[in-house]
Amino acid sequence: MSTIALAHDPGIVPVAAPVVDVVVPTHDEAATLEAQVRRLHAYLAEHFPFTWCVTIADNGSTDGTPSVARRLAAELPGVRALVRRQAGRGGALRQAWTASDATVVAYMDVDLSTDLGALLPLVAPLLSGHSDVAIGSRLATGARTRRGAKREVISRCYNALLHLVLRTSFRDAQCGFKALRADTARALLPAVADDRWFFDTELLVAAQRRGLRIVELPVDWTDDPDSRVRIVPTAVADLRGVWRLLVAGRHRHLVRFAAVGVASTVAYVLAFLALRPAVGPLWANAFALGATTVANTAVNRRWTFGVTTREGRLRHQVQGAVALAAGLLASTAGLALLHLAAPSPAPAVEAAVALAAGAAGTAVRYLLFRHWIFATVPTPQETLP
């Protein structure tokens, strides 16, 4: 049983588990760690209304940081020390969050760049059930930051890249001030491969792709001139991570879209051949293509792009019909040209021409599905006032 400090109580009370676990990842922070942890501890004891603990999660320090962390854990009630030999902030957070017995797991940078007054607004929507993930943002409306021009430009460019390439809706992926419900963290962590600085971005992308509720809180943030972040190597590693997520996401969609397309094509051919004797090739093509496209849109909506709610279903079908028009126009034009060249072609030749003409339409439909029809599938997210 852990001993956790209870706010507004001068004594110490034993509780089975804290409500909030504030993890402070460290790497070679022996010179400043004690002062910062004592400052955080004092703030929580005086101002924070829920039971809490502070976990110092060291990752690969070589300067005596683990010894300082263990001493603070022995001296300060509610402070824990976790020492990991491997370097990597993400790995330290992964281990600390997985082992935590708290309801909400959070983390903040050891330099305490973010105003501590934002901690309660950060965790409140998680405890109320309003949100699954909460992140501090230096780029949201209302945020106040003090940092150098170089870091400001790099941060804005990086987040603009995420929005453009990965279609992220959150503004600030890398602010060192985040919180999650513990059950949400345990569900997301297996999907996060990175154990270093890209951990934050990958965690948020995984949350967004699963449709979790992300709340973004503007914060007051002051740059630490003694930051341990090496900008160029970190930026290169982040770009590799973005490329990995981009490729993985597109491959998953492409494989599923292709599988649905194969099934739709088989159904189309069978329907075309069955209808042609009764209504002729042009109408057979229109009916077969229309029926299979409705089914194609429905299956892609649910299976390929993961939309399971009823909201927007009719709109998606209408948009799918617009995508159908491109394929219908191409295949109809192909059949018309075929009949101009050969007035009585064999049914198999007609089907082959329709399939060939529709291949280009398939590529267009995928682009429309990916970047128009399902590009605006909502990810619940808010910016608090």
DSSP H helices, the chain, are 33-47, 65-75, 89-99, 119-127, 149-166, 182-188, 199-209, 231-279, 281-299, 313-341, 347-368
Give kind and range of the element (H or E) at residue 12. strand 12-14
CA pair distance 29, 111, nearest whole angstrom: 9
| Strand order, beta sheet including 20-26 | 79-84, 52-59, 20-26, 104-108, 177-181, 133-137, 214-218, 381-383
CA pair distance 236, 81, nearest whole angstrom: 31
CA pair distance 160, 320, nearest whole angstrom: 29
Q: Of 200, 223, 226, 238, which one is the catalytic site residue?
A: 200
Please check whether residue 131 is in contact with residue 48, taking contact to mean a CB–CB distance below 8 angstroms.
Answer: no
Distance spanning both ends of the chain, measured CA to CA: 38
200 among known catalytic residues: yes
As a residue count, the chain comes to 385
The DSSP secondary structure of 32-90, one letter per residue, reads: THHHHHHHHHHHHHHH--S-EEEEEEEES--SSHHHHHHHHHHHSTTEEEEEESS--HH
Q: Which residues contact 357 (CB under 8 A, 6 or more apart)?
A: 330, 331, 333, 334, 335
Q: Which residues contact 256 (CB under 8 A, 6 or more apart)?
A: 300, 303, 304
Q: Which residues contact 248 (CB under 8 A, 6 or more apart)?
A: none
Relative to beta strand 104-108, strand 177-181 is antiparallel
Q: Would you please indicate which residues are annotated as catalytic (active-site) residues?
A: 200
